[in-house]
Amino acid sequence: MAMKLYHFEACPYCEKVRSTLKRMDLRYESVEIDPSDRALVKAVSGQEKVPVLADGDAVIHDSTRILRYLVRTYGGGRFLPDEAHSRGLMWILEEYVDEVLIPLLHRTGRNVDENGKALDEAGRAALKAEAAHQYESLEQLLSSDGFALANRVTLGDIALYACLSRLELYSPRGIPSDYPRIRAWYTRMKA
Ligand SMILES: N[C@@H](CCC(=O)N[C@@H](CS)C(=O)NCC(=O)O)C(=O)O
């Protein structure tokens, strides 16, 4: 029985899982949900967030847990750095994208605070400065000609690319032009 992925297009966490499944050459049935109707996701997984992966008896929610499951079950070792130190950093990067970068870029696009409340001018400037700081860090991380933590694509790159690709789709600005190394890496990932 094919795996089923419950997801929707604009969701960066879903894009990370779609992209990992694709790179691992794993086939799945796509169940695209309406973001405003969580009934099916709730019935399948007992909670309302996507992505959710159903594989036989296993039903997994949370994109990081899904990635760990896929690597463990289907042998995705080639998407992990060989060296232990880099491997640890890769999972830290993966978590950082979910917990820091995605929420921050989401807020930056809408100019709201953590609770969704519209920001005043000072709040918008602070948010912009925070986003610039994160872009600077990524610019440094991606300063080599290879990928984030190895000379090949790992799950860290896939997570980051998934996040920034949603930005490219839904923000007129995309990745700011003053970060050439991020943009060069992005082009390498797209190839
Ligand atoms: N930590 C979760 C976050 C998933 C998440 O927040 N998904 C969003 C869509 S992008 C969602 O379903 N939100 C609905 C909600 O918060 O109730 C993961 O990595 O999968």
Class of domain 80-190: mainly alpha
Domain with CATH 3.40.30.10 in the chain: 3-78
* Nearest residue by C-alpha to atom 6 in ligand 1: 49
Contact criterion met (CB below 8 Å) for 175 and 163: no
> CB under 8 Å to 129, separation ≥6 — which residues?
none
pLDDT at position 8: 97
Residue 188 confidence (pLDDT) above 90? yes
What would you measure as the largest C-alpha separation in the chain, in angstroms? 54
The structure tokens 């959710």 sit at 52
Per-residue pLDDT averaged across 120-143, rounded?
A: 96
Ligand 1 pocket by Cβ (under 6 Å): 11, 13, 48-51, 62-64, 98
The number of the ligand 1 atom at minimal distance from the alpha carbon of 50 is: 12
Q: Tell me the pLDDT band of 38, cut-offs 50, 70 and 90.
A: very high
pLDDT tens digit sequence for 64-108: 999 999 999 999 999 999 999 999 999 999 999 999 999 999 999
CA 61 to ligand 1 centroid distance, Å = 9
How far, in Å, is the centroid of ligand 1 from the Cα of 144?
32
Instruction: Report how far Cα 61 is from the mean position of its chain's Cα atoms.
Output: 14
H/E element, 6: strand 3-7
Average per-residue pLDDT for the chain: 95
Q: Give the whole-angstrom CA distance, residue 144 versus residue 122.
A: 35
What is the pLDDT confidence band of residue 145, given thresholds at 50, 70 and 90? confident
Name the percent of the chain lying above pLDDT 90.
90
pLDDT of residue 168: 78
DSSP conformation letters of 14-74: HHHHHHHHHHTT--EEEEEPPTT--HHHHHHHSS--S-EEEETTEEEESHHHHHHHHHHHH
**Is the CB of residue 103 less than 8 Å from the CB of residue 95?**
no
Q: What's at 34, amino acid-wise?
A: D
Q: Would you call 151 helix, strand, or coil by DSSP?
A: coil
Question: Which pLDDT belongs to residue 15?
Answer: 97
- Could you tell me where in the chain the CATH 1.20.1050.10 domains are found? 80-190
pTM of the model: 0.95
Architecture of domain 3-78: 3-Layer(aba) Sandwich (3.40)
Closest listed residue to residue 4, CA positions, set 42, 47, 59, 74: 59
Per-residue confidence at 125, pLDDT binned at 50, 70, 90? very high
- Strand 52-55 relative to strand 28-32, pairing: unpaired
Q: In a mutational test of the pocket of ligand 1, which residue from 18, 49, 64 has the highest number of ligand atoms less than 8 Å from its CB?
A: 49
